């Protein structure tokens, strides 16, 4: 007999490559008697698709509005939202989910409508402080806040990625059951397609074995200190190398790095292969610039990936990042300016203590998954679900 209940995740991003969504889909399959599914949008962003390998049920919609490149950002955003109404809503309502889990404000009104139509529970997962993000127009920020406020009473559970962001939502919009689920990496069964002996990055890029390798993981976009890093590693006085491992390059890095003998581009890898790959470096770089309130209060997944890879960390001195770095003795923090980054790189060259020696259980995905499952079981109630998985 098929599972009787559906937990349905909705997103306007590509769920097949979104590490946070993929981890949650896997974790929620532990609840007996449920079918866990996701509906997202097909986006060719260069990230590695892990959904088929993980056996997850994900529907990816090909939206025509995503191809519109020449409209102002706010108008393009509105067109995507309108197309989602016609494409996503019918599919979601037909599934009559037990829970609809909305990733981001664009699909939050859809989730509220589905709740009103089906009586399901509504979970809102704010991956950032959504109305205070960088590179977002004032109109879009205002519209995002209005959407969140209008839907607030209908939300049964709020989830976010840092204590400070959760506190902001509750302080600004009102009391709400909430859960902190940080962007920690999955470690169990992680296996990278790299040599088990030697130093992978040194071998791949011809770096002498005795020279240190700094690595940056994530989006290759402004606001991450990447330009200042490249400038720093162009200096002959910095005896180390920088590997940029990521995707969605909006900085033209392939051209900018081609003539730099100490800066290298590496393509993205599946999210469960990141930590094993990082173990072949020395220092992980987590430099978020203080360009928005969302950035200021963030806890990026790369910070946890570096920690579990056993790397020393060079991170921004933003409040939440600094708190975690100091609490778990992960490395050092610096001001994310050109001068501050250069000074931080030079200081990080002398770091001796590896982060992997710290007790990081609180930061693990296993801990985050247990928090997520506990809140889901409380949300659903013991009488809602069977005691064993249907077969």
86 inside domain: yes
Range of the domain at 163: 5-184+364-380
pLDDT of 2 higher than 60: no
374 inside domain: yes
pLDDT of 212 higher than 90: yes
Considering the domain architecture, whether residues 343 and 370 belong to the same structural domain is answered as: no
pLDDT of 72 higher than 60: yes
Lowest mean pLDDT among 112-116, 185-189, 194-198: 194-198
Considering the domain architecture, whether residues 25 and 82 belong to the same structural domain is answered as: yes
| Nearest Cα to Cα of residue 103 among 57, 54, 41, 48 | 41
Give me the residues paired with residue 126 across strands: 160
pLDDT tens for each residue of 52-62? 556 688 998 88
- CA–CA distance, 111 with 59 (Å, rounded to integer): 16
Residue found by looking up tokens 């940029």 in the block = 244
pLDDT tens for each residue of 148-183? 999 999 999 999 999 999 999 999 999 999 999 999
Average pLDDT over residues 298-325: 94
Residue 299 contacts residue 272 (beta carbons within 8 Å): no
pLDDT of 353 higher than 80: no
Considering the domain architecture, whether residues 208 and 134 belong to the same structural domain is answered as: no
Considering the domain architecture, whether residues 62 and 157 belong to the same structural domain is answered as: yes
391 inside domain: no
Residue 365 contacts residue 373 (beta carbons within 8 Å): no
Considering the domain architecture, whether residues 299 and 376 belong to the same structural domain is answered as: no
pLDDT of 43 higher than 80: no
Measured distance between the N- and C-terminal CA atoms of the chain, rounded to whole angstroms: 5
- As for how many domains the chain has, the answer is 2
Considering the domain architecture, whether residues 231 and 178 belong to the same structural domain is answered as: no
Considering the domain architecture, whether residues 165 and 216 belong to the same structural domain is answered as: no
Considering the domain architecture, whether residues 150 and 206 belong to the same structural domain is answered as: no
pLDDT tens for each residue of 236-287? 888 999 999 987 777 777 777 777 789 999 988 887 788 999 999 999 999 9
73 inside domain: yes
295 inside domain: yes
Considering the domain architecture, whether residues 145 and 15 belong to the same structural domain is answered as: yes
Task: Write the DSSP symbol of residue 196.
Answer: S
Query: Looking at residue 274, which CATH number applies to its domain?
Result: 3.40.50.2000
Considering the domain architecture, whether residues 64 and 159 belong to the same structural domain is answered as: yes
The confidence score (pLDDT) of residue 387 equals: 43
87 inside domain: yes
- CA–CA distance, 303 with 211 (Å, rounded to integer): 23
Average pLDDT over residues 61-83: 73
The confidence score (pLDDT) of residue 50 equals: 56
Considering the domain architecture, whether residues 300 and 168 belong to the same structural domain is answered as: no
80 inside domain: yes
Backbone angles phi, psi at 100, to 5 degrees: -115, 125
Considering the domain architecture, whether residues 133 and 215 belong to the same structural domain is answered as: no
Instruction: Record the tokens describing residue 38, joined without a space.
Output: 């996701």
Q: What is the pTM of this model?
A: 0.88
Average pLDDT over residues 205-226: 90
134 inside domain: yes
């Amino acid at each position: 007999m098929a599972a009787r209940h559906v937990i349905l995740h909705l997103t306007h991003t590509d769920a097949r490559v979104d590490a946070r969504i993929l981890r949650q889909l896997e974790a929620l399959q532990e609840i007996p008697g449920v079918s866990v599914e996701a509906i997202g949008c097909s986006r060719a962003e260069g990230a590695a698709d892990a959904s088929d390998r993980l056996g997850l049920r994900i529907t990816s919609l090909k939206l025509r509005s995503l191809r519109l490149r020449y409209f102002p950002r706010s108008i393009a955003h509105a067109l995507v939202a309108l197309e989602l109404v016609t494409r996503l809503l019918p599919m979601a309502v037909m599934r009559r989910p037990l829970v609809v889990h909305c990733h981001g404000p664009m699909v939050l009104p859809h989730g509220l409508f589905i709740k009103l139509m089906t009586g399901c529970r509504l979970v809102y997962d704010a991956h950032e402080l959504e109305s205070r993000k960088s590179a977002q127009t004032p109109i879009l920020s205002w519209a995002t806040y209005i959407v969140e406020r209008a839907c607030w009473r209908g939300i049964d559970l709020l989830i976010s990625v840092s204590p400070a962001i959760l506190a902001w939502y509750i302080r600004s919009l009102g009391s709400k059951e909430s859960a902190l689920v940080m962007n920690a990496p999955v470690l169990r069964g992680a296996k990278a397609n790299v040599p088990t002996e030697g130093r992978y990055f040194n071998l791949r890029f011809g770096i002498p074995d005795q020279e240190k390798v700094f690595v940056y993981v994530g989006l290759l976009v402004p606001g991450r200190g990447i330009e200042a890093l490249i400038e720093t590693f162009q200096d002959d006085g910095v005896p180390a190398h920088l590997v940029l491992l990521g995707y969605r390059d909006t900085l033209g890095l392939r051209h900018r790095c081609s003539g730099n003998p100490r800066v290298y581009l590496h393509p993205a890898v599946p999210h469960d292969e990141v930590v094993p790959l990082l173990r072949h470096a020395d220092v992980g770089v987590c430099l978020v610039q203080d360009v928005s309130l969302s950035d200021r209060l963030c806890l990026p997944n790369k910070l946890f990936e570096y920690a579990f890879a056993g790397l020393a960390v060079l991170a921004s001195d933003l409040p939440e990042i600094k708190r975690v770095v100091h609490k778990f003795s992960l490395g050092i923090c610096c001001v994310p300016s050109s001068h501050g980054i250069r000074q931080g790189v030079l200081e990080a060259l002398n770091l001796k203590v590896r982060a992997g020696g710290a007790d990081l259980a609180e930061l693990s995905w296993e801990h985050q998954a247990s928090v997520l499952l506990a809140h889901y079981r409380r949300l659903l109630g013991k009488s809602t679900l069977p005691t064993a998985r249907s077969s």
